[in-house]
Amino acid sequence: MKDHIKITYGQKSLEALSQKITTKKYSSVFVLVDTHTEQYCLERFFENCPLEIDGVLTMNAGEENKNLSTCEYLWNELSDQGADRNSSLINLGGGVVTDLGGFVACTFKRGIDFYNIPTTLLSMVDASVGGKTGIDLGALKNQIGIIREPQEVVIETGWLQTLPEDELRSGFAEMLKHGLIANPNYWKTLQSLTSLSSSSLEPFIKTSIDEKTKVVLEDPYEKGLRKILNFGHTLGHAIESYYLTHKDKSRLLHGEAIAIGMVMEAYLATHCSGLDAAEADEIKKTFAAFYPQIDITFEDQNEILKLLRHDKKNKAGRINFVLLKAIGSPDIDVEVPHEFFAKAFEFYQSKTN
Ligand SMILES: NC(=O)c1ccc[n+]([C@@H]2O[C@H](COP(=O)([O-])OP(=O)(O)OC[C@H]3O[C@@H](n4cnc5c(N)ncnc54)[C@H](O)[C@@H]3O)[C@@H](O)[C@H]2O)c1
Ligand SMILES: [Zn+2]
């Protein structure tokens, strides 16, 4: 994996990609979009990446479609449209498209080349980089998947112009995470932003990608260090899954759920990994400034905790967390006694001073 993380930046890199793909002489080239990126990004893609394409494959937008039946549909489409072992797939979309498209490519004919062109902030700073591909299984996130790097990831921030503001905020949570787990100065800089817009966030995208790739290069298969990227995700995934399967609840995006996870896990850290209470408060305050407060009822909490017990990272019934010892200094595989969970919800819900 070491030499395989190829990330290029800027509009010109889209043109370079088209040349690279042409030189590779694939038997056929397909582009995967979802219904939104088909609408907002496809035309611009063809303008900037002049390529002969053999087919555009479209999946329904949304996390609820990151599942096996979408894969089956796409495997059939590839097959019906004549794709073979020497074909390739370009994933043009957010994390759902890059995760699922990567998985489809890795499994079709035992693996064809794929390229990621992330079009959301979250997929730029996180999902499209690091080789994790996969799909959800029922309510459980990312249960099925493969780790394999794409041939190339092209980061072009122009896509963000059409991205809704809540999606920007969702991606921003992963950027804050990079600061919290690895780079206190970066955390401080992001903390001081007064507004979230594509232009205010663009200058920081590369720093986030650099933080992530440093970790992934060190530990591509998540034997140790890479686990730090799961900070906020143990609780965050359970919260995300819960809101995904309860349509009567407000919509919660990945980053928004992870943001709640990070606040709650900051509380757990004050008990289980020595995080200073003042730093936990600072984390809570910062997230409260950027994210709307969600009312998580007692009933919701119980359901979320049930899902938490199914987390794929649990070993022998123990729920392990990535917790901070201090801002910028994470600890992995920290076991958290169950009695702290209710208090962590309370901490999240409590008023920010
Ligand atoms: N593989 C990894 O390492 C990794 C890391 C983090 C997250 N993820 C996964 O990523 C997914 C979340 O990614 P996401 O937040 O990008 O979600 P997403 O792919 O669902 O995109 C969010 C929404 O924005 C739309 N969209 C995308 N680009 C657009 C654009 N330029 N203009 C307008 N609309 C656009 C999409 O159609 C969708 O409706 C989750 O499934 C999560 O598990 C994976
Ligand atoms: Zn995430």
Which residues contact residue 315 at a Cβ distance below 8 angstroms, ignoring those fewer than 6 apart?
none
List the residue whose alpha carbon is closest to atom 44 of ligand 1. Answer: 127
* Integer Rg of the chain from CA: 20
- Give the chain's count of helices (H) and strands (E): 15, 10
Phi, psi at 303, each rounded to 5°: -65, -40
Phi, psi at 166, each rounded to 5°: -65, -30
Other beta carbons less than 10 A from residue 60's beta carbon: 12
Give the confidence band of 169 by pLDDT, cuts at 50, 70, 90.
very high
Q: Of the residues 156, 178, 230, 284, which is catalytic? A: 230
Q: What is the mean predicted confidence (pLDDT) over 77-94? A: 98
Residue 278 CA to residue 1 CA, distance in Å, equals: 39
DSSP 147: E
Residue 224 CA to residue 230 CA, distance in Å, equals: 11
Distance 97 CA to ligand 1 centre (A): 7
- How large a percentage of the chain has pLDDT more than 70? 97
Give the domain ranges of the chain. Answer: 2-161, 165-349
Do the domains at 2-161 and 165-349 have one common CATH topology?
Answer: no
Distance 190 CA to ligand 1 centre (A): 21
The answer to whether the Cα torsion of 287, 289, 290, 292 is positive or negative is positive
Residue 331 CA to residue 220 CA, distance in Å, equals: 18
**Nearest of 183, 155, 226 to residue 8 by alpha carbon:** 155
Query: What is the per-residue pLDDT across 190-201, written as a single tens digit (0 to 9) for each?
Result: 999 999 999 999
List the residue whose alpha carbon is closest to atom 35 of ligand 1. Answer: 163
Phi, psi at 107, each rounded to 5°: -105, -20
- How large a percentage of the chain has pLDDT more than 90? 87
Is residue 108's pLDDT more than 80? yes
Whole-prediction pTM: 0.94
Q: For the domain bounded by 165-349, which CATH number is listed?
A: 1.20.1090.10
Choose which CATH entry (2.50.20.10, 3.10.50.40, 3.40.605.10, 3.40.50.1970) describes domain 2-161. Answer: 3.40.50.1970
Query: Residue 299: its pLDDT value, please?
Result: 95
Distance 338 CA to ligand 2 centre (A): 23
- Is residue 301 within 8 A of residue 342, CB to CB? The reply is yes
Cα end-to-end span (Å), the chain? 46
